[in-house]
Amino acid sequence: MAGNIDFDQEIELRKKLVQVALGRQPADVLLQVGRLLDTGTASWIEEADIAIADGRVAFVGPRGSYTGKATKTVDRSKLAAVPGLGEVHKHIESSHITPEYEAALVLPRGNTWTCEASHELSNVLPKQTLDFWLAARGAGSPLKIFPLPGSAVPPTGWEHGAHLDGADQSGFMQSPMTAGLDEVMDWPAITQAENPGHERLWSMIGATMKARGVVEGHGAGLRDLPDINAFAAAGLASDHEAWTAEEAWDKLRSGLFIEIRVHTMDDIIKGLIERGLKDWSQVAVTTDDRSATDTLRLGASDYNVRCAIKAGLPMETAVQLATINPARHMRLTPWVGSVTPGRFADIVLLEDAQSFTISEVWADGQQVSQGSDYLLDPVHIDWPDWARNTVNIGRGLTADDFAITAESGRNTMQAPVLRPFHWSDEVPIRTLPVENGLVQRDHTQNITKFSIIDRYSGKGDVTKMFWLGCGPRDADTALCCSMGHDKHNVWCVGSSDRAMAQAVNALADMGGGWVLVHKGEVTARVRYEIAGLMTARPAEDNDAEMRALYKAADQVDWMYEPSFHPRWQPGFPERLAIATLTCAPWRWNLIAKSDHAPEGLIHVVTGETRPVVF
């Protein structure tokens, strides 16, 4: 039975499943598999029968043990079966496709349920958070989405705009689909009573705990034992930001649930094995952020499992890290995590278990994919205006909006310059030339200009400052995007003020996405017309536009600083989309204009502000 969980309907359904399990009512399907992995015991049931009714599992046992009848018997005796894979922490927004198309992308790759970490969408559409994430399933999509409304709304107490607090979270928690509270990121607001976000965040944590929900954490940079202990004491139940095995080990020993991303998986899993970890039930593998382009190339949850196996885990344990472990952590075991009675009949059938090669995927008791092909049509959703009209700059911008004025009579000015992944309390100061009363970029120092454009208020507010080594060197060239973690205002980097205005105006006209202006001409667009973060089109369409953007970007001379963080790469500066983060371990950053920070340059831990030139 497709649809979101309704407790009244749930009870009636389970009454029927009892009768089917006892053989008193017929099953819809009897699925026969060569072997079935029981994730509760990490053992295999050879020659297993799975009786399915109304999209749920009613009975599991060895071949011939089911005493009832079935309308249809399906023989998959040459294939191995594991439960549908789950995402313990994923931002579907980072796929950049809406949930109905996300289903078509990830279901053939084994992912049948997702705990949606919603602080991206929640910053754009705070009050409609659940309406958005539950729409596709309500329309019949096989992908189960369990939303965790955003805690970072706003990301820090120094920022304005969308606002969610404990009262909002109490309302969200009334839905059976809401799993808890998305990653709590503003560590200074948790620990400092004088921080302007302190009461708001603690009210959200309290509302979640009162409803027996899960409070997800974000412990980036928190590696010493006092911080780790304080993090756990706050009720933050998990961390997906561990970078080393030592950090993961310390956090496990403090009672945290560890969610391992693929870029640190090999080192962490090998390190935990070396340390003798015997109980892996407090560990999961997670995607976090992965674009549609990368998912088409690498995979979804299946890729996470294969990486875990490659890192040295037994296949059975690796599957547990993507099924029963996240289901237990998120308190979703009545519905997902295992192929057992009462759960959704979500089953991944494997040609080869050790290599985790998927033959087909079943969801809600029916086959939904063959190989990498999705067999269903995506459900149709007529996304309303509130989801589409989210880029509200309010006016056309001009070059003057991006200009930085010098003090009268000055030939040079001093400017603090930031760079991506700036995690220091110190900000480099550079001397920049002045021409016609305006402070200029200096390409000889690898300095360009970066800006944040408020896309919510309609006031056309622009903050801007000078930026080091991550923009275009070519004349009249700019790149902008409406995806800017975590507030998701529009950001723009450019070699001229005119090109920056041109790029942002083009982006506003199409409702969000990416725009590249090269030497005065728009050379690439990627459309994110839903919330400025996603497109209501297939993954392949989004991938084609991204590839066209990459191709156009190859024609641009991009600045690069070799001294940057190792995750920063030369070339197209796509990672500027996360350079606007204001959570730990960031310090100084540029935010949208606010009463507290009228020029936007702020230390996000202390609230200290500075002028962008002096």
* CA gap 465, 500 in Å, rounded: 13
* CA gap 489, 454 in Å, rounded: 5
* Stretch 422-437: mean pLDDT: 94
pLDDT bracket for residue 567 (50, 70, 90): confident
pLDDT at site 17? 98
Q: Are strands 588-590 and 601-603 parallel, antiparallel or unpaired?
A: antiparallel
User: Is 80 exceeded by the pLDDT of residue 408?
Assistant: yes
Classify burial at 563, counting beta carbons within 10 Å of its beta carbon; exposed 0-12, middle 13-18, buried 19 or more: exposed
Choose the weakest-confidence range: 63-72, 257-266, 418-427.
Answer: 418-427
* CA gap 548, 293 in Å, rounded: 12
* Stretch 469-485: mean pLDDT: 96
* CA gap 260, 78 in Å, rounded: 32
Residue with tokens 């970078």: 243
pLDDT bracket for residue 569 (50, 70, 90): confident
Distance of CA 62 to the CA centre of its chain: 39
Sign of the CA dihedral running 518, 522, 523, 525:
positive
* CA gap 375, 160 in Å, rounded: 44
* CA gap 567, 556 in Å, rounded: 21
DSSP per-residue letters across 132-169: HHHHHHHTT-S-EEEEEE-S-SSSSTT--S----HHHH
Give per-residue pLDDT as tens, 275-320: 999 999 999 999 999 999 999 999 999 999 999 999 999 999 999 9
Beta bridge partners of 147: 116
Residue type, 280: W
Q: In this structure, what token pair is assigned to residue 12?
A: 């009636």
Let me know: does 588 contact 422? Beta carbons within 8 Å. yes
Let me know: does 478 contact 455? Beta carbons within 8 Å. no
User: Is 90 exceeded by the pLDDT of residue 338?
Assistant: yes
User: Is 90 exceeded by the pLDDT of residue 562?
Assistant: no
Residue with tokens 């690898």: 446
pLDDT at site 1? 53
* CA gap 120, 187 in Å, rounded: 18
Mean pLDDT, the chain, whole residue set: 97
* CA gap 388, 257 in Å, rounded: 36
DSSP per-residue letters across 576-595: GGGTT--STT--EEE----S
pLDDT at site 602? 96
User: Is 80 exceeded by the pLDDT of residue 556?
Assistant: yes
Give per-residue pLDDT as tens, 215-251: 999 999 999 999 999 999 999 999 999 999 999 999 9
Give per-residue pLDDT as tens, 576-601: 999 899 988 899 999 999 999 999 99
Per the model's pLDDT, the better-predicted residue between 455 and 419 turns out to be 455
